[in-house]
Amino acid sequence: MQLLTALVFFGVLFVASLAGTRALITVLTRRAVIDVPNERSSHVVPTPRGGGIAVVTVMLGGWIGWLVLQGTLDGKSLLIAGLTAGLAILSFIDDMKNLPARLRLLVQALAVAAGLMVTVPDTGFTSGLIPVWLELPIAGFAWLWFVNLFNFMDGIDGITGVETISIGSGLIGLTVIGGIGASIQLPALAMVAAIAGFLVWNWQPSKIFIGDVASIPLGFLSGWMLLEAGAASDGLSGWAAVLLLPGYYLFDATFTLVRRVLRRENVFEAHRQHFYQQATQRGFSHAGACLAILALNIGLIALALLVAPVYPLFSVAIGLGAVILLCLLFHRGRVKAEAAV
């Protein structure tokens, strides 16, 4: 896609998401689709949830609509978009009625399995380094975990928007600079544009929450694009980049889950133990925590694009160190002046 065309495409989807989310604020408020704060919440004002309806609609509509207009719609894109939409519908029902966790997990696993059928390259994800029969369960589990961690990490104003824009921008950078995974450029651009329009209304103080209706589909679509980028890369360098782009979310969510499992806590129960949540309890504002994560993500993107192609293991080690440092900062908190951000 040419630069001017990409900018127009981005602008149209951004405005559509911006306007659609604003309309949803009114509709959801009138229909009392409200997230009421409780002792585990990071917000204190009742806020409408379900803004992700606009995000998913604009994102998938822009992606598939463009392919239809260009006459290049393929089966893989249609299937992935369909699975993403299906997860959005299921997740919206869950937003309204709290479906059983086992049912949600089963449907997500089936979506991941179907997605893998059109994602695994002929030579496998590691070009024979690991047998395909072992690659598939590893890739499937990682993708399923990514779907859920995206949902788990959606706990403060702006964080889902910041992380999604960071991952999407990094993926676009890989397709442009690294020349890999060109097929993911369009969905990544559509995802960034749609979430950017929503973020305007979700920035602190948030006027609307995204809800499971979008956090689950965003995790699914981002996971697919990361796998596609890794599979299209030339060996270790590509997978190093794939690990770096979502580095903060991967570490915070995984570390917190393992810690809760070791404590024998109910991992499906809401909590405030993630590092970014600790930050808001120790002096950071929601905006301050998100800006810190954004700064880290910019560094991770730079590592993925500039260092990983030459020194993959070194880039991952540096990235992991940076993530841990930010988590320690969040854990210990900052001076109260940070809350003014």
Burial class (CB in 10 A: 0-12, 13-18, 19+), 8: exposed
Structure tokens of 294?
């954004």
Phi-psi region of 333 (alpha: psi -120 to 50; beta: other; left: phi over 0): left
Is residue 42 scored above 70 in pLDDT? no
Instruction: Please compute the mean of the pLDDT values over residues 121-136 and round it to a whole number.
Output: 80
Structure tokens of 10?
């981005």
Q: Which of 91, 65, 48, 315 minimizes the C-alpha distance to 194?
A: 65
Q: Are 208 and 201 in contact (CB under 8 A)?
A: yes
Q: 3-class DSSP state for residue 131?
A: coil
Structure tokens of 325?
């440092």
Instruction: Please compute the mean of the pLDDT values over residues 217-233 and round it to a whole number.
Output: 93
For 57-89, how does the pLDDT look when each residue is reduced to its tens digit (9 = 90+)?
999 999 999 999 999 999 999 999 999 999 999
Q: Which of the pair, 334 or 175, is modelled with greater confidence?
A: 175
Q: Which of 143, 112, 130, 167 minimizes the C-alpha distance to 298?
A: 167
User: Residue 284: pLDDT band by 50, 70, 90 thresholds?
Assistant: very high
What pLDDT was estimated at residue 336? 43
Structure tokens of 206?
């948030």
Q: Tell me what the pLDDT averaged over the chain comes to.
A: 91
